[in-house]
Amino acid sequence: MMVRPILILGVDIISENPKRFAVVSWFNGKLERKGEFTLYRLIRFIQAKRPDIVAIDSVTELGGDLRKFLRSLPPETKLVQVTGRPGEQRSLQSLAKEHGIRTTDRFDPYEEAKLSALLASKGVGYEVLAFEDEVIVKVTRGRSHGKGGWSQDRYRKRVHNLVRDKVREIEERLRRADIPFDLETEERDYGLARGEFRVYASREELAGLIRPMRGGDVEVRIQPVERAELGFAPLRGEEAVRERRSIIVGIDPGITVGIAAIDLNGRIIALHSQRNMPVGEVFRFISGIGHPVIVATDVSPAPGFVEKIARSFKAHLFVPRESLRIEEKNELLRNLGISVEDDHQRDALAAAYKAYLRIKPKLEHIDSRLREAGLTRKADEVKALVIGGYNLGEAMQKVTKRERPREEEPEEQESVDVRPYVRKIRELEGRIAFLERENEELRGIIREQRRTIERLERRIADYDEEVRKKVLRERELEAKVKRIEILEKQLREAKAVIERLSRDLVKVKRMNVVEVRGSAVPLKVLRVLSWRELERIEREVGLRRGDVLFVLNPAGAGKAIAEELVEKGIRAVISESPLPQSVAEVFRGAHVPFFLSNELDVKRVDEFAVVERETLERAIEELLERWAREDEEREAERFLKLVEEYRIERIRELRRKAEEESKGS
């Protein structure tokens, strides 16, 4: 069920040229007539009050200003067309009658604004979607760097560091909030010049998480992605249940997105997979099939992409107790008797069907009850309402109530539509009344402003200089207190850094002493055994024949990079964990020794590491001797095997000759 908003504004147009609107507010059940507004004043009023919903009977009343109006709405404010989606709209009066709302004059704009607000408060209508569930966040420098000189270079480096820090901060916040995103960065000579995030979330979800910044060294701009065409989403789930087919959707996110849809009887409706499919396109693809009551995934925990789709449709999210195994997915597909085009469709279909099997007993129970009640035609609608949170009795009652025929409204049976003429008369009368009121209001404003000017002039004349000085002193004191707090925080952070660096410096000095004495061998540290890390080491410190490498994480390395290290003449490799089998085989074949760090007692501080020279030389010598013995043993075994094979072949040859001689004789 939809949570009732705190404030709803009902809006209806009074006149077209100039545009003027009647506004009625609904605040926790209380209606209040707010008056007549121009478009500009209406936008300012909405931005000041920040309502949850602005309800209107048709967005066409905004005409060419619709996009401008939508851009001006606060992130948390929804524009709702209460009469339904385009092409399926119903009159306000028929909707009001259906929901038990009393109507009076259908040609009164305030009456229509009131009906729009009341219907929206009951969850009736469709939200107008002007933006994709995607937001572009750009982080750039804020000022020009100037020209030449050491000071400009230092400033440019500082600004690029600030841009890098802000990009990392936003990236960390998005990861903590489990919001999916893509990041593109632009590196310059002094570091990071800009970063651009494509965040797969709505403006409302980013509110308070990322704030725009303007005017400083770093700027952060937030730009929601506009839809090419306006979308319409039901304000509450049960409206979509009534009007559209209810489905269960399985989603496999990634570079290639897999989508599978089945109905509430377990029949497959759609299978689809596509590369680089944005959230908005996924939403529109599913909307074209039906309304999902369950969105399912095959992994636990659920990916942020799938959670986003479920929230967008206000659907239940199905997550298996543990991620589905490949064997289990294939078994589900065999039971369905269907083949898929790729693994993404398989994973999506397995997730959807697993969710269906979980609720299948409940659905079968609903079918039996509906057969008894004679409501089998509305089985899908009742099932969807039960999944949405209703108990079975409430769901059957709602469907039965909607099945009762509604009386035709007499005003819709009129042979001649007089509404345009009445509306034109009303516009002209309203225009005259408005101009008269506006004239009187302006006279009152002028009188009030004159009184205000006289009052302010008297206050300025009587203003005490000492009071102004006191205000200035208080402001200055407040600024100094804030400055002290900032400096104290920076001091604490600096002390922590100094303490850590001091400890590291002691260790480094000890390592330097050992190295100077010639009793230690410096190691070149690689965080991972990859081509990019290898390029970094060659660029920063160089890589020469006879170097000893220390690898923190060798997992994932392959045969090619091992052969590259052998070709460069690496003397030995030390790693924190065992090397992959393919890498170890290459090093063994080339007689390049490799060890684990705990075997040699490696000493390391940050990017520096050393090992005792005597320990390393002894370990290399012992390992090479052991490999030499193993090679000799293998060579001897190979030689003996060849001799044995020759002996056996020779015996066979002699036997064959003896048989031939015996046959000849």
**What was the pLDDT predicted at 5?**
41
- Quote the CA–CA distance of 248 and 254 in Å, as a whole number: 20
Residue 269 one-letter amino acid: I
Please check whether residue 140 is in contact with residue 159, taking contact to mean a CB–CB distance below 8 angstroms: no
Please state whether beta strands 218-234 and 126-141 pair in parallel, antiparallel, or not at all (unpaired). Answer: antiparallel
What dihedral angle (degrees, nearest 10) is formed by the CA atoms of 271, 273, 279, 280?
-70
**What was the pLDDT predicted at 594?**
92
Q: CA end-to-end span of the chain, whole Å?
A: 107
**What was the pLDDT predicted at 80?**
93
CB atoms within 10 A of CB 427: 17
Rounded mean pLDDT of 494-511? 74
CB atoms within 10 A of CB 286: 23
Please check whether residue 351 is in contact with residue 251, taking contact to mean a CB–CB distance below 8 angstroms: yes
CA distances from 323 to 50, 319, 350 (A): 42, 8, 11
- Quote the CA–CA distance of 201 and 179 in Å, as a whole number: 7
Confidence of residue 258 (pLDDT cuts 50, 70, 90): very high
**What was the pLDDT predicted at 55?**
93
**What was the pLDDT predicted at 394?**
74
For the stretch 585-624, pLDDT in tens is 999 888 899 999 888 888 876 667 888 888 888 889 888 8
Please determine, for residue 124, whether its predicted confidence score (pLDDT) is greater than 80.
yes
Range with the poorest average pLDDT among 342-346, 500-504, 632-636: 500-504
Confidence of residue 348 (pLDDT cuts 50, 70, 90): very high
The residue that leads in pLDDT, 253 or 235, is: 253
Rounded mean pLDDT of 503-513? 62
**Helices and strands (H, E) in the chain, number of each type:** 20, 20
Q: Is the peptide bond before 180 cis (omega within 30 degrees of 0)?
A: no
Please determine, for residue 208, whether its predicted confidence score (pLDDT) is greater than 60.
yes
**What was the pLDDT predicted at 414?**
40
Rounded mean pLDDT of 325-341? 85
Rounded mean pLDDT of 295-313? 85
Confidence of residue 401 (pLDDT cuts 50, 70, 90): low
Confidence of residue 236 (pLDDT cuts 50, 70, 90): low
Main-chain phi, psi angles of 187, to 5 degrees? -95, 140
Please check whether residue 297 is in contact with residue 318, taking contact to mean a CB–CB distance below 8 angstroms: yes
Rounded mean pLDDT of 133-147? 74
**What was the pLDDT predicted at 189?**
67
Nearest alpha-carbon partner for 593 in 626, 557, 630, 556: 626
For the stretch 628-662, pLDDT in tens is 888 888 888 888 888 888 888 888 888 888 888 88
Annotate 312-350 with b (16+ C-beta within 10 A) or e (fewer). Answer: bbbbbebbbeeebeeeebeebbeebeeebeeebbbbbbb
Q: What is the pTM of this model?
A: 0.39
CB atoms within 10 A of CB 119: 26
Burial class from Cβ neighbours inside 10 Å (0-12, 13-18, 19+) for residue 603 reads middle
For the stretch 57-110, pLDDT in tens is 988 888 888 888 988 888 788 899 999 888 888 888 888 888 888 887 777 889
Please determine, for residue 31, whether its predicted confidence score (pLDDT) is greater than 80.
yes
Contacting residues for 338 by C-beta, under 8 A, at least 6 apart: 268, 349
**What was the pLDDT predicted at 316?**
86
Main-chain phi, psi angles of 271, to 5 degrees? -135, 130
Rounded mean pLDDT of 200-212? 77
For the stretch 429-450, pLDDT in tens is 767 876 777 777 788 788 778 8
